[in-house]
């Protein structure tokens, strides 16, 4: 199925169901159906009324909905302003339960699904989505998409694909996030050494060498290095991008075909360049050992002058204060992705990834009134004129105000800091972040504007018999050997052969190409 076919298929389903509903509407004696109520709710929202104000939500009957997901910091119901506002707007009694531990949530969900004690809405990962749908436990939402039009508009067609199994929609995936990472560089060190901001990977290497050898902090000691980051992929993503290749193991479309980066001839060139940088001695010698935020700590302490990192971990207030305390003269700036022989990409961005998926149990189709109320909730929080602003920012006039259409958070915004728990369909990421992090708005926009290779891994289901953890470990170990000169790049083809035969990687590649082709990516 290509992308156009997918769209046409969904549209056809919408039209068929819509026609059927229209044909039935004259035979109900004028009684309001749940679908009528939803339509009434849309009109009410557009006019500034809540659905409850308009007499919507099934003739005043309060419906209890139970939702479970992973999360934390949810207040008690009497302190939960978002719940109270949603209850009031949609005539609900929401019972949201969150589990701080991912394992705990997974166990709880598995037990409930196995026992038939289904929540009305619940988050699932991709593997759970596949397993539960094949067991017949999830509601196929494809025939109901006419009742979820606001959701579909809000999350977009690509997000809809992320909730599909065998061409059917079994979960609503959240709207996409945006990339955060870029290279940051010490401008004060550049100025001290009379260097320019690097614009190519060769210039990046030259600056890294200068930072390691020319005493940029002026303390008379050779105690600095150039580049730091987390692992090879974390430190050199823009270098891979400059060669036109995504990080190791990522799939993308190149010259009209789906390729895996390990099989892209440019991968060997990228590894050769990375080796040349490491050979200069200017790269953090603990690069491969860095975990969590150890590379950030080194940057803040003034041990490194270039770092590939997300904007929050260097520009949020607490880190700005730390930097000012340790190195008052430090000035970190973002730089555009350095150019190379394969272009200028700030690494890759997986457009198949999603921040979350929510499914509805098949059993709920036996209770159409409650099912419609779940649809009403999902549509309402996806509606910019309805509850989308509520679950993003809280109550207007209390937690935020509008200044010429721009959201301005108030000093009470922290009271609803947990509102993300109710963002079951996601949020408009750029607008949301720029409102929540107004002081970091320029950094957010800069990171988002960098060109990226569009990776597709999030769309891929792993074939049976392929153990991703084993393959990933082998890939990381062997590529580190190539980058650090422990294994000659002339043996790269032998590395691929072992990967295919011992790690069953060929099965993954074949399955990925087939699945991505079916979604319309590549030939």
How do residues 80-104 score in pLDDT, each as one tens digit?
A: 999 999 999 999 999 999 999 999 9
Which residue is associated with the tokens 């037990």?
111
User: What is the overall mean pLDDT for the chain?
Assistant: 89
% residues pLDDT > 70 (the chain): 89
Whether the CB-CB separation of 440 and 114 falls below 8 Å is answered with no
Q: Please report, in angstroms and rounded to a whole number, the separation of the first and last CA atoms in the chain.
A: 12
E strand intervals along 199-327: 225-228, 251-254, 257-260, 304-310
Q: What is the pLDDT of residue 59?
A: 52
DSSP tag of 75:
P
Q: Which of 503, 432, 443, 510 is nearest to 467 (CA)?
A: 503
> What is the average pLDDT across 13-37?
31
For residue 336, the SS3 value is: coil
Q: Which of 211, 214, 181 is nearest to 303 (CA)?
A: 211
> What is the average pLDDT across 103-128?
96
Residue 468 to residue 460: CA distance in whole angstroms: 12
> What is the average pLDDT across 165-190?
97
Q: What is the pLDDT of residue 158?
A: 87
% residues pLDDT > 90 (the chain): 86
Give per-residue burial for 303-341: e unless 16+ CB within 10 Å, then b: ebbbbbbebebbbeeebbeebeeebeebebebbbbbbbe
Residue 107 to residue 347: CA distance in whole angstroms: 35
* Torsion, CA 231, CA 236, CA 238, CA 239, rounded to 10: -150
Per-residue pLDDT band for 57 (boundaries 50, 70, 90) equals: low
pLDDT at 170 over 90: yes
Residue 343 to residue 91: CA distance in whole angstroms: 54
Q: Which residues pair with 428 in a beta bridge?
A: none
Q: Which of 182, 496, 245, 270 is nearest to 278 (CA)?
A: 270
Give every CB contact of residue 171 below 8 A, 6+ residues apart in sequence: 124, 129, 138, 141, 162, 163, 357, 358, 359
Q: How far is CA 217 from the centre of its chain?
A: 37
Q: What is the pLDDT of residue 60?
A: 67
For residue 202, the SS3 value is: helix
DSSP tag of 264:
S
DSSP tag of 292:
T
Higher pLDDT among residues 27 and 321, named by residue = 321
> What is the average pLDDT across 492-517?
96
E strand intervals along 71-109: 92-99
DSSP tag of 462:
P
User: Rounded to 5 degrees, what angle do the CA atoms 414, 415, 420 make?
Assistant: 80
Reading the block at residue 484, the tokens are: 């650090």
pLDDT at 9 over 70: no
User: What length is written for the chain?
Assistant: 523
Residue 138 to residue 131: CA distance in whole angstroms: 10
Q: What is the pLDDT of residue 460?
A: 94
Q: Which of 141, 64, 56 is nearest to 96 (CA)?
A: 64
Domains in the chain with CATH codes: 63-177+355-437 (3.40.190.10), 181-345+456-519 (3.40.190.10)
For residue 33, the SS3 value is: coil
> What is the average pLDDT across 471-493?
97
Q: What is the pLDDT of residue 41?
A: 37
Per-residue pLDDT band for 28 (boundaries 50, 70, 90) equals: very low
pLDDT at 125 over 60: yes
> What is the average pLDDT across 3-16?
32
How do residues 425-446 score in pLDDT, each as one tens digit?
A: 999 999 999 999 999 999 999 9
> What is the average pLDDT across 251-257?
97
Q: What is the pLDDT of residue 523?
A: 76
> What is the average pLDDT across 264-287?
98
* Torsion, CA 288, CA 289, CA 294, CA 297, rounded to 10: -70
User: Where is average pLDDT lowest: 43-52, 202-211, 250-259, 492-501?
Assistant: 43-52
> What is the average pLDDT across 374-401?
97
For residue 361, the SS3 value is: strand
Q: Which residues pair with 401 in a beta bridge?
A: 408
User: Where is average pLDDT lowest: 28-42, 180-194, 405-419?
Assistant: 28-42
Per-residue pLDDT band for 305 (boundaries 50, 70, 90) equals: very high
Q: What does each C-alpha distance from 196 to 115, 183, 185, 188, 204 come to in angstroms?
A: 64, 15, 11, 11, 10
CB atoms within 10 A of CB 491: 14
Reading the block at residue 454, the tokens are: 């569009």
Per-residue pLDDT band for 3 (boundaries 50, 70, 90) equals: very low
Reading the block at residue 146, the tokens are: 């006419």
Q: What is the pLDDT of residue 14?
A: 30
């Amino acid at each position: 199925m290509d992308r156009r076919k997918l769209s046409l298929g969904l549209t056809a389903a919408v039209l068929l169901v819509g026609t059927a509903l229209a044909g039935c509407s004259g035979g109900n004696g004028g009684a309001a159906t749940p679908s009528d109520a939803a339509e009434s709710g849309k009109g009410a929202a557009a006019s500034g009324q809540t659905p409850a104000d308009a007499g919507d939500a099934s003739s005043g009957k309060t419906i209890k909905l139970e939702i479970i997901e992973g999360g934390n910091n949810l207040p008690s119901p009497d302190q939960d302003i978002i719940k109270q506002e949603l209850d009031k707007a949609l005539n609900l009694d929401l019972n949201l339960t969150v589990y701080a531990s991912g394992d705990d949530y997974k166990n709880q969900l598995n037990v409930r699904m196995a026992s038939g004690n289904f929540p009305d809405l619940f988050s699932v990962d991709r593997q759970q989505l596949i397993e539960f749908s094949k067991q017949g436990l999830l509601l196929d939402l494809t025939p109901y998409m006419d009742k979820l039009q606001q959701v579909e508009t809000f999350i977009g067609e690509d997000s809809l694909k992320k909730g599909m199994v065998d061409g059917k929609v079994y979960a609503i995936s959240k709207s996409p996030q945006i990339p955060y990472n870029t290279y940051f560089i010490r401008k004060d060190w550049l100025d001290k050494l009379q260097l320019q901001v690097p614009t190519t990977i060769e210039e990046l290497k030259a600056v890294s060498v200068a930072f390691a050898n020319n005493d940029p902090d002026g303390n008379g000691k050779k105690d600095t290095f150039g580049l730091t980051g987390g692992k090879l992929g974390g430190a050199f993503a823009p270098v891979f991008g400059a060669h036109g290749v995504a990080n190791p193991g990522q799939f993308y479309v190149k010259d009209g075909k789906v390729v895996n980066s390990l099989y892209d001839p440019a991968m060997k060139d990228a590894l050769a360049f990375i080796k040349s940088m490491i050979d200069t001695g200017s790269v953090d010698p603990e690069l491969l050992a860095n975990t969590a935020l150890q590379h950030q700590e080194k940057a803040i302490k003034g041990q490194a002058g270039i770092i590939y990192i997300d904007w929050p971990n260097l520009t949020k207030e607490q880190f700005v204060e730390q930097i000012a305390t340790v190195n008052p003269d430090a000035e970190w700036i973002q730089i555009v992705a350095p150019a190379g022989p394969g272009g200028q990409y700030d690494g890759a961005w997986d457009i198949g990834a999603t921040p979350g998926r929510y499914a509805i149990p098949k059993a709920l189709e036996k209770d159409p009134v409650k099912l419609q109320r779940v649809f009403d909730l999902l549509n309402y929080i996806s509606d910019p004129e309805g509850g989308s602003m509520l679950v993003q920012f809280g109550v207007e006039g209390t937690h935020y105000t509008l200044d010429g259409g721009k959201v301005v958070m108030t000093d009470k915004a922290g009271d609803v800091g947990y509102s993300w728990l109710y963002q079951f369909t996601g949020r408009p990421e750029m607008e949301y972040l720029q409102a929540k992090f107004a002081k970091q708005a320029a950094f957010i926009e800069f990171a988002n504007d960098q060109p990226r290779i569009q990776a597709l891994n999030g769309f891929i289901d792993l074939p049976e018999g392929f153990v991703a953890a084993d393959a990933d470990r082998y890939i990381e170990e062997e590529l580190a050997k190539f980058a650090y000169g422990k294994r000659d790049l002339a043996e790269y083809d032998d590395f691929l052969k072992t990967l295919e035969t011992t790690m069953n990687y060929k099965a993954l590649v074949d399955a990925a190409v087939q699945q991505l082709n079916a979604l319309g990516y590549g030939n």
